[in-house]
Amino acid sequence: MTALDIRNLNVSFRLPDREAPLDVLRGVSLRVAEGEIVAVVGESGSGKTTLIRAVTGSLADNATFDADVFSLGGLDLRSLSRSAYARVRGGQIGFVPQDPLQGLNPVVPVGRLAEEPLRKRGVGRAQRRRQVLELFERVGLPDPERVHRSFAHELSGGMCQRVLIAAAISTRPRLLIADEPTSALDVTIQKRILDLLVELRDEIPCSIVLVTHDLGLAEERADKLHVISRGRIVESGSPAQILNAPADDYTKLLLTAST
Ligand code: ADP
């Protein structure tokens, strides 16, 4: 079964000062099998965020989008209205944002923020608190009760990222999308967070799309790598294939940058 199947995705943006639209994704294909961890690796500006937004249905209003196939768990997303898309996304996609502090409202205790996806699903207060405390324990947060009533600035970056992961998995999503989930953290913590995602993949179970500029971090955990450059996938394969025999010049550059 395929968790996510995208074939020949094009995304362009209309710009007020230009007649021709800006083509940002050009013929991108991405297939994620159930339980697979797929990394999309590319430098800043290559189109990674645009790809994530296309999948989560949150492209900006100036975007135009077309694809030959665009399905999540076998459901054709192209035929859905925005609101139907939002419902599907809420139930099936968990999203871990890049910067923990941007993902967490500073004036609301993190426990309440982590309960939000469950609240939106109509889970009652006592039950969602219980579930979130269990999830905090699961993602390795010490003293979940204390964390629950803390504000983001009272926790370390790694702890905030664990809170966001707990929130993202609380609805048991079929697909977890992690957008540079470790770039704001130091190297040891980065590795721990990625290892946690790998463990959760087996436990939930779910598939994971890991988006990053760091080829070195991705190759240790992903089953498959896609290298994206200027809106095109320039190379795809297993980490071993790509690292041992990169076919594309851009991949070779990324490899040099990550060693
Ligand atoms: P990445 O996440 O790899 O850094 P992005 O997907 O954010 O790349 O951006 C790719 C390109 O698309 C950039 O040139 C960016 O300026 C452009 N872009 C992204 N969103 C918009 C938008 N709403 N309108 C116009 N251009 C955009």
pLDDT digits (tens, 9 = 90+) for 6-51: 999 999 999 998 889 999 999 999 999 999 999 999 999 999 999 9
Strand partners, 197: none
Instruction: Answer whether residue 259 shows pLDDT above 70.
Output: no
pLDDT tens digits for range 94-126: 999 887 777 789 999 999 999 999 999 899 999
Pocket test for ligand 1, best of 24, 213, 227, 229 (most atoms within 8 A of CB): 24
ipTM of model over 0.85: yes
In this structure, the residue with its CA closest to atom 26 of ligand 1 is: 13
Cα distance between residue 47 and residue 40, in whole Å = 10
Amino acid at 243: L
Taking a C-beta distance cutoff of 8 angstroms, is the pair 47, 54 a contact?
A: no
Instruction: Answer whether residue 256 shows pLDDT above 60.
Output: yes
241 C-alpha to center of ligand 1: Å?
29
- pTM of this prediction? 0.91
Q: Which pLDDT score, from 0 to 100, does residue 181 have?
A: 80
**Lookup: tokens for 209:** 């799309």
Q: Which pLDDT score, from 0 to 100, does residue 98 have?
A: 83
pLDDT tens digits for range 46-71: 999 999 999 998 899 999 999 999 99
Determine the average pLDDT of the residues in 167-180: 92
Closest CA to 217 of 40, 35, 27, 22: 40
Ligand 1 atom index nearest CA of 44: 4
Q: pLDDT band at 220, cuts 50/70/90?
A: confident
Q: Which pLDDT score, from 0 to 100, does residue 34 have?
A: 94
Q: Which residues sit with their C-beta closer than 6 Å to ligand 1?
A: 13, 15, 22, 24, 42, 44-50, 60, 62
In this structure, the residue with its CA closest to atom 23 of ligand 1 is: 60
Distance of CA 148 to the CA centre of its chain: 24
DSSP state of 116: H
Taking a C-beta distance cutoff of 8 angstroms, is the pair 48, 91 a contact?
A: no
Q: Which pLDDT score, from 0 to 100, does residue 190 have?
A: 82
Of all residues in the chain, what percent are helix, strand and coil, respectively (each to 5)?
45, 25, 30
φ, ψ (nearest 5 deg) of residue 133: -65, -40
In this structure, the residue with its CA closest to atom 25 of ligand 1 is: 13
pLDDT tens digits for range 63-96: 999 999 999 998 999 888 888 888 888 789 999 9
Taking a C-beta distance cutoff of 8 angstroms, is the pair 46, 228 a contact?
A: yes
- Of residues 256 and 169, more confidently modeled: 169
